[in-house]
Structure 1
Amino acid sequence: MTSRISKFYQRSPEERLEIVAESAGLSEEEQKILSGEKKFSLNQADHMIENVIGVLPIPLGLAVNFKVDGKDVFVPMATEEPSVIAAVSHAAKYSYSTGGFHTSYSGSIMRAQVQVTGLKDPYFASAKLYEAKEELLAFCNEQDPTLVSFGGGAIDLEVKLIQAEHEKMLVVHLIVDTKDAMGANTVNTMAEASAPLIEKITGGQVVLRILSNLADRRVVRARAVFENPFGEDREAADRFMYAYKLAAHDPYRATTHNKGIMNGVTAVVLATGNDTRAIEAGAHAYAARSGKYETLTRYEFGDNGNIVGTIELPLAIGLVGGATQSHPVAKTATKILNAQTSEELSGIIASIGLAQNFAGLKALATEGIQKGHMKLHARNMAAMAGAKDEQIDEVIRIAAENESYTFDGIKEIVKNLQS
């Protein structure tokens, strides 16, 4: 299989689905799920959340040109925003012939926090907890023998002392290897179950018992060598680096820089049924871990004028549990990725984030972000302006001739076509 497909964007949705179905070995039913022919029912939705009244379809697209750790992959992305999938697919082309993306993973470690208050002797209580470490870990692992059977479970204990306004609080961190699960339910169960034992050991009162979404022991790193997209235009390459360096030193720019990264990351997280809010919160907290909000990516000039890029972010991603298995589209999207472990899936997602960021900086260094975005947004605007389905391609053609993609201009084109 190769993810390099010429002019994939010019093919019809049916042709694209046929290509990925053959590559991923999708059944006829799975193809119907993706195409919408077999709809996600109200009854299925009612089993997932409360007070269901309907469903909100989100477009599911496919990023191409990706090679991650030596393996070509098609990457499903769920997003309502034009230009995201086009941008990552375009950026991935510049890395394909130089080896694609290479990734590393710190491990599938999550942490739960158990807050203990009302302590007269918090340092003494901390020492007692460390003495009872093995007892606490064994008790936690009794809560999930299935996870333990797969080699996971509670593996360590950390005790933090937090100076609050009126007292010094103690916070117990239960360190848990969740393997291929995201792990929220597991670590929350362990935290809640261990509360009485922690109270008995410390003599304090437990308040909060919940996981932390700052998954700083579940960090993914990706790197790529991007062929110089600017040719002999050294000034454009320098502008690329200036754009990056502003994000590296200014939190106002870094916020938008990282938002662009998350355009790609969140789209894959959503497509695979993972927790988009947890990933977003963790990534932004990780960007501020030094006390200053910084960029999640780094760029340098490499050999032959190439640009080398890296990304580092926490990704609490699972392949089992939750919507990854209960939502039929998410389950099928994950099958397309053919990721066998959460580590492999995390590497793919980090690579998407790096590609998205490279594409954004490339655009900023040349024509700006808006021209390409508005061009891809034009189909949306044509529909908003009242164009019929059979008129949309003609509207886009005329807008391209006019070299203008403003909504007012597109409304005028539609008006003329329909008059």
Structure 2
Amino acid sequence: MTSLNGKPSSLIPDFDKLSIDERLRHVERFAGLSEEDMQQLRAPSNLDRELANHMIENMVATIAIPVGVATGLRIDGEEFLVPMATEESWIISAVGNAAQACHDTGGFTTSASGSCMIAQVQLLGLTNPHSARIAILEKRNEIAAECAACDPTLTRFGGGFHDLEVRILGEGADAMVVVHLIIDCRDAMGANTVNTMAERIAPKLQAWTGGRPALRILSNLADRRLVRARATWIPEALGGEAVRDAILEAYRFAEVDPYRAVTNNKGIMNCVSAVVLATGNDTRAVEAAAHGYAAASGRIRSLTKWEVAPDGALAGSIELPMPVGLVGGAVKIHPTARALVAILGVKSAEHLGRIIAAIGLAANFAALKALSTHGIQKDFMAHHARNFAIGAGATGDEIDLVARSLVERRSISTAAAEQVLAEVRKSR
């Protein structure tokens, strides 16, 4: 089955019922993977011990996380299979189901604000912070030149220094001047780049103002690097207008109550972080940025917005910071991350970020629909039953036998799994 633009469709019937090798063959055909990529994905261990030893200090072992692919994603008119690295049950199939429900009505539309990060330099001990602020702003061209000298390659590719901001925080003896170097990082996440620029410019700032440089570090509140996605689901794909309205009621709960909002956003980040991890990016940076952005108004709110379109469809949108890259860091040196990026076929960090935004929106749709209808436990625990079976000691075909029995009995616990496993083995 092919899409309108000639690319294979990401809709793969019964993908979850295929063997691992069969799934990999589908992915290989869809993404046009090389034999090297396929060998890496089939390897018992995805990370060479010596490479791991050079990635971190005190390395003693590597830990494998399952990687699945979400199917049915139509994003900006293109078909995608999206790799997700996670130990969490249910979320990959949930994303695929959400994507399939809006696939025939256009899927997801995405956009981005840019690829800028902020480097902060804190200046202390100034008795004239307002004059110092103006003096720094007067040096904009010199600051731009210093930043360009830090990374000529980035500048050559159209990145580098983008803008300058100077803020005054506090009053009197407690006042501090905080300089923001706004740097276009292009296809890099940018932490090392902006930190280097902050370190380089700090002595200059001291010479110009007399202030004492203190912290010189990036900000992870990446609000100059936003990604957005939107989609609509017709009532027929939801199960009717009553389901649509129930989803809206669940969303409003997250908008007005911080206790619900935190959990709502955690569900979004379950899936966002799974793609970030699969592509070798920094999950902690993305998590920090997203949760900080959700609380930017002074009270944490949902990262998504839900409303009714003029034709009665459910319209959802999401906006969140996305400090991810395709050059530098683990994304370049981890061979499995490179192979998983190849599945996506993205050529820029911005494109990767926009796909991740669509995944976040799909995740929230799936969670709100489950919560507002039959409850999350029915879907989650049915998948999680396998984990309880494995934890009880089940192996091979015993795992599915025990899991099915647990779901049928509606009793999913370690004790129940141990009892069912004993019964299975006794019957053989």
TM-score normalised per structure 2: 0.95
Q: Name the structure 2 match of 1:184.
A: 191
Deviating 4+ runs (over 4 angstroms): none
Question: Retained in 2: the 8 A contact 1:237–1:365?
Answer: no
Q: Which amino acid aligns with 2:161?
A: A
Instruction: Write the distance in 2 (CA, Å) between the matches of 1:283 and 1:348.
Output: 15
Q: Name the structure 2 match of 1:367.
A: 374
Q: For residue 55 of structure 2, give the secondary structure of its aligned residue in structure 1.
A: coil
Instruction: Write the distance in 1 (CA, Å) between the matches of 2:364 and 2:274.
Output: 14
Question: Retained in 2: the 8 A contact 1:95–1:224?
Answer: yes
The alpha carbon displacement at 1:342 in A equals 1.1
Q: Name the structure 2 match of 1:64.
A: 71
Question: Retained in 1: the 8 A contact 2:46–2:336?
Answer: no
Q: Which amino acid aligns with 2:239?
A: G
Q: Name the structure 1 match of 2:319.
A: 312
Question: Retained in 2: the 8 A contact 1:261–1:356?
Answer: yes
TM-score normalised per structure 1: 0.97
Q: Name the structure 1 match of 2:239.
A: 231
* Counterpart among 140, 150, 155 of residue 148 in structure 1: 155
Q: Which amino acid aligns with 1:142?
A: A
- Cα distance, 1:156–1:93 mapped onto 2, change above 3 Å: same
Q: Name the structure 1 match of 2:99.
A: 92
Question: Retained in 1: the 8 A contact 2:286–2:321?
Answer: yes
Q: Name the structure 2 match of 1:53.
A: 60
Q: Deviations over 1:300-327 (max 9, x none)?
A: 1225542110000010110111011100
The alpha carbon displacement at 1:13 in A equals 1.1
Instruction: Write the distance in 1 (CA, Å) between the matches of 2:173 and 2:129.
Output: 13
Instruction: Write the distance in 2 (CA, Å) between the matches of 1:272 and 1:397.
Output: 33
Q: Which amino acid aligns with 2:225?
A: R
Q: Which range moved further: 29-38 or 262-271? A: 29-38
Q: Which amino acid aligns with 1:359?
A: A
Instruction: Write the distance in 1 (CA, Å) between the matches of 2:131 and 2:193.
Output: 29
Q: Which amino acid aligns with 1:158?
A: E
Question: Retained in 1: the 8 A contact 2:127–2:172?
Answer: no
Question: Retained in 2: the 8 A contact 1:63–1:74?
Answer: yes
Q: Which amino acid aligns with 1:88?
A: V
* Counterpart among 293, 296, 305 of residue 289 in structure 1: 296
Q: Which amino acid aligns with 2:297?
A: S
Q: Name the structure 1 match of 2:271.
A: 264
The alpha carbon displacement at 1:386 in A equals 1.0
The alpha carbon displacement at 1:235 in A equals 3.4
Q: Name the structure 1 match of 2:329.
A: 322
Instruction: Write the distance in 2 (CA, Å) between the matches of 1:276 and 1:164.
Output: 36
Q: Which amino acid aligns with 1:190?
A: M
How big is the alpha-carbon RMSD for the aligned residues of Structure 1 and Structure 2?
Answer: 1.4
Gaps of 5+ in 2: 1-7
Q: Name the structure 2 match of 1:193.
A: 200
Q: Which amino acid aligns with 2:339?
A: T
Q: For residue 316 of structure 2, give the secondary structure of its aligned residue in structure 1.
A: strand
Question: Retained in 1: the 8 A contact 2:385–2:407?
Answer: no
The alpha carbon displacement at 1:407 in A equals 3.4
Question: Retained in 2: the 8 A contact 1:3–1:66?
Answer: yes
- Sequence identity of aligned pairs in percent? 50
Q: Deviations over 1:56-101 (max 9, x none)?
A: 1100110001011111001000001111101101111111011010
* Counterpart among 364, 372, 388 of residue 381 in structure 1: 388
Question: Retained in 1: the 8 A contact 2:46–2:64?
Answer: no
1:5-404 mapped onto 2 (5 Å cutoff): 5-37=12-44, 39-163=46-170, 166-228=173-235, 229-232=237-240, 234-404=241-411
Q: Which range moved further: 313-322 or 408-417? A: 408-417
Gaps of 5+ in 1: none
Q: Deviations over 1:26-54 (max 9, x none)?
A: 22232121123464121010111111000
